Amino acid sequence: MPKRILIIFLSALAGSILAFIFNYFFLEKILIPDPCYYHSHDTNKIFDLFYSLPASEGNHPLPTMFNLIGTLITGAIIGAGISFIRINRQKKPGMEEALK
């Protein structure tokens, strides 16, 4: 049982790391191709929920705490869910004969 919990925890951690990588290297580049666009244009409420425009960064979009926590939770759920499915698939009786 402890080995199963460790595997699920490590998979959740790996899922969170992959979600952060996906969010900051791919998704952010698609959603915000030109950060200077927001110098002269207003943002909507959904954008404000996920990104802030602090003066210390030259009014360029930065992820909010909601974005960070959402990314962390989403990645952890996906990683833990995938490992949970894989563990349960291996434990079903008769699966060994079906896979041969």
Domain residue spans of the chain: 10-87
Q: What is the pLDDT of residues 51-90, one digit of tens each?
A: 999 999 999 999 999 999 999 999 999 999 999 998 888 7
CA distances from 47 to 1, 32, 39, 41, 95 (A): 43, 10, 14, 12, 47
Q: How far is Cα 82 from Cα 66, in angstroms, rounded to an integer?
A: 24
Provide CB contacts within 8 A for 36, sequence distance 6+. 60
Q: Residue 62 pairs with which residues in a beta bridge?
A: 52
Q: At what angle do helices 65-91 and 2-22 cross, to 10 degrees?
A: 140
| Structure token digits, residue 43 | 């943002």
User: Global pTM?
Assistant: 0.80
Q: What is the pLDDT of residues 22-51, one digit of tens each?
A: 999 999 999 999 999 998 999 999 999 999
